[in-house]
Amino acid sequence: MLEARLEQANLLKKVVDAIKDLVQDCNFDCNDSGIALQAMDNSHVALVSMMLKSESFSPFRCDRNIALGINLTSLTKVLRAAQNEDILTLKAEDAPDVVNLVFESAESDRISEYDIKLMDIDQEHLGIPETEYAATISMPSAEFQRICRDLMALSESVSIECSKEGVKFACQGDIGSGSVTLRSHTNVDKPEMNVEIDLTEPVSLTFSLKYLVGFCKASSLSGQVKLCLSNEVPLLVEYALANNSYLRFYLAPKIGD
Amino acid sequence: TAQQSRLEGFFRPV
């Protein structure tokens, strides 16, 4: 059986909120290392990969592999009943029909309990190879969100060019063009404001801004976002969570002119 | 204009 207790419901609320517009029905794969999710959007352009390590829960118990097929719209409805600060416990039997969610308020003696019916989801699983990326950029997640939103006002696509001069986000649209260039930057007092560019070779790739703006819904999960690029492979956008847990998005590039 | 590629072009189903 599964029993996983989160100190704050907020974490799961934010994760589900960040991915629910991209993917609808997902298997939450539970085993003794934690709870993982991998799902592609309908157009097979973007992929979500979430890992909530067992260390992110206290306690965490999962005796055998359990796949919880959950509709994220249903999960969102139930999670809306949880206060951000509530303790959240997920429970399921070994061959479950439902997943049980319990929300406990630390301040009052209120305990809420919900069951969500599970679905049989036959999901295609993609193997994501370990990749040595040509460029890795760490930057404030709010900055990345702002750049994507600003450029989306002009164009559907953004080119991300990384060279030793810095990283340039550029777009061209009907009304004109725009670009934002960032250079490496260290803020000793506020490390969350750092921009770090790790480059082994120059990279230039084009991506759909619609998807990037969608990924940025995860910005509240982490002060920093990591972008990993290599020529002609999908972009990795990673929001690191506590205890080595993470929320990752992969986005296939636009190719050719 | 550039064409949108799909993930299967890069990642194999397992």
Q: What is the pLDDT of residue A98?
A: 98
Q: What is the pLDDT of residue B3?
A: 94
CB atoms near residue A236 (< 10 Å): 20
Is A255 an interface residue toward B (CB < 8 Å)? yes
- Separation CA A179–CA A150 (nearest Å): 10
- Using a pLDDT cut of 90, give the percent of chain A over it: 95
- HSE on the CB side for A109, CA within 13 Å? 0
Q: Is the pLDDT of residue A122 over 90?
A: no
- Separation CA B7–CA A247 (nearest Å): 18
Q: Residue A22 in contact with residue A48, Cβ under 8 Å?
A: yes
C-alpha Rg value of chain A to the nearest Å: 20
Q: Residue A205 in contact with residue A229, Cβ under 8 Å?
A: yes
Q: What is the pLDDT of residue A118?
A: 98
Measured CA distances, A177 to A4, A152, A153, A160, A253 (Å): 49, 11, 10, 14, 20
Q: What is the pLDDT of residue A249?
A: 98
Q: Chain B, 1-14: which have a CB under 8 Å from a chain A CB?
A: 1-14
Closest CA to A236 of A52, A48, A19, A23: A48
Q: CB B8 to CB A126 under 8 A? A: yes
- Residue scoring higher pLDDT (A256 or A50): A50
Q: What is the pLDDT of residue A73?
A: 97
pLDDT digits over A47-83, tens only? Answer: 999 999 999 999 999 999 999 999 999 999 999 999 9
pLDDT digits over B1-14, tens only? Answer: 789 999 999 999 98
Cis amide bond preceding A191, omega within 30: no
* Mean pLDDT computed over A92-110: 94
pLDDT digits over A16-51, tens only? Answer: 999 999 999 999 999 999 999 999 999 999 999 999
What string of DSSP letters covers A23-90? -SEEEEEEETTEEEEEEE-TTSSEEEEEEEEGGGSSSEEESS-EEEEEEHHHHHHHHTTS-TTSEEEE
Q: What is the pLDDT of residue A257?
A: 62
The mean predicted confidence, pLDDT, of chain A is 96
Q: What is the pLDDT of residue A129?
A: 93
Chain B residues within an 8 Å CB radius of A128: 11
pLDDT digits over A197-227, tens only? Answer: 999 999 999 999 999 999 999 999 999 999 9
Total CB pairs under 8 A between chain A and B: 54
Q: Chain A, 207-246: which have a CB under 8 Å from a chain B CB?
A: 208, 233-234
Looking at CA atoms only, how far is residue B7 from chain A in angstroms? 5
Residues facing A137 on adjacent strands? A197, A227
CB atoms near residue A122 (< 10 Å): 6
* Mean pLDDT computed over A171-196: 96
Q: What is the pLDDT of residue B1?
A: 72
- Separation CA A138–CA A82 (nearest Å): 32
- Separation CA A121–CA A184 (nearest Å): 44
- Separation CA A193–CA A185 (nearest Å): 8
Q: Residue A164 in contact with residue A108, Cβ under 8 Å?
A: no
pLDDT digits over A159-178, tens only? Answer: 999 998 899 999 999 999 99
Q: What is the pLDDT of residue A123?
A: 82
Q: What is the pLDDT of residue A89?
A: 98
| Three-state DSSP class for residue A196 | strand
Confidence of residue A130 (pLDDT cuts 50, 70, 90): very high
Q: What is the pLDDT of residue A106?
A: 80
